[in-house]
Structure 1
Amino acid sequence: MNIYVSNLSFAIQDEDLRDFFADYGEVSSAKIILDKATNRSRGFGFVEMADDAAAAKAIEALNGALADGRTMKVSEAKPREERPARQGGGFNRNGGGQRRSYNESNSRW
């Protein structure tokens, strides 16, 4: 079962996350999600446990538990929803690509 863990302290690492869940069963993987630009934690992660019963016990026990001064939120991970493709591609917020033409009558753009 894939487990979503949020409201994590930015100091928590992959191994810390693995340790939280290891008391409830075998942890296949534990991953804190990092910001691509800063390489810092985004405050959430995912844990994969092979045994669904152990995962359910871990979710029940750890949801609301205190970790590094913060209350963890733990739930079964949901599949990522499809998002519509972004429109535009210009430099401004409304899609960009609009150009102003040179106005010869008053010599301004």
Structure 2
Amino acid sequence: MSVYIGNLSHEVEDKDIRYVFLKYGSIKKILLSTTQKTGAKIKFAVVEMESNNEEIAAIHGLRGTEWMGYSLRVNRANSITDIASSC
């Protein structure tokens, strides 16, 4: 399981996401979505954590949180590999 985090600011960086998610456990991967043509950031990311319990805690802890001026959408995601291939 991975965590989808949507409605992100265009200014968010991997390090910002890492900082927020480390509160819930160890992070294996972060995929910050970008467009293939321009490399511009799209407003979502996927985070894969070490355990399902950590991912569930992050989902419950962050869902609806106001961050950088946006209300986050946080849910279970498909595998990070599936999402990476669709970006």
**Contact 1:15/1:30 (CA < 8 Å) preserved in 2?**
no
Q: TM-score normalised to the size of structure 2? A: 0.85
Q: Given the two structures, how large is their TM-score scaled by the length of structure 1?
A: 0.69
* Greater RCO (CA < 8 Å, at least 6 residues apart): 2
Runs of 5+ unmatched residues, structure 1: 81-109
1:68-90 deviation line (CA, Å, top 9, x unaligned) = 1001101010365xxxxxxxxxx
For 1:44, the aligned partner's letter is: F
Alignment of 1:54-73 (within 5 A): 54-73=54-73
**Counterpart in the other structure of 1:52:** 52
Q: Distance in 2 between matches of 1:54 and 1:44?
A: 19
Q: Which has the larger share of strand?
A: 2
Counterparts of 1:1-109 in structure 2, within 5 Å, are: 1-78=1-78
Tell me the number of residue pairs that the alignment of Structure 1 and Structure 2 aligns: 80
The root-mean-square deviation of aligned C-alpha atoms, in Å, is 1.2
- Greater helix fraction, Structure 1 or Structure 2: 2
Conserved in 2, the CA contact under 8 Å of 1:33 and 1:43? yes
Identity, % of aligned positions: 29
Q: Which structure 2 segments of 5+ residues have no match?
A: 83-87
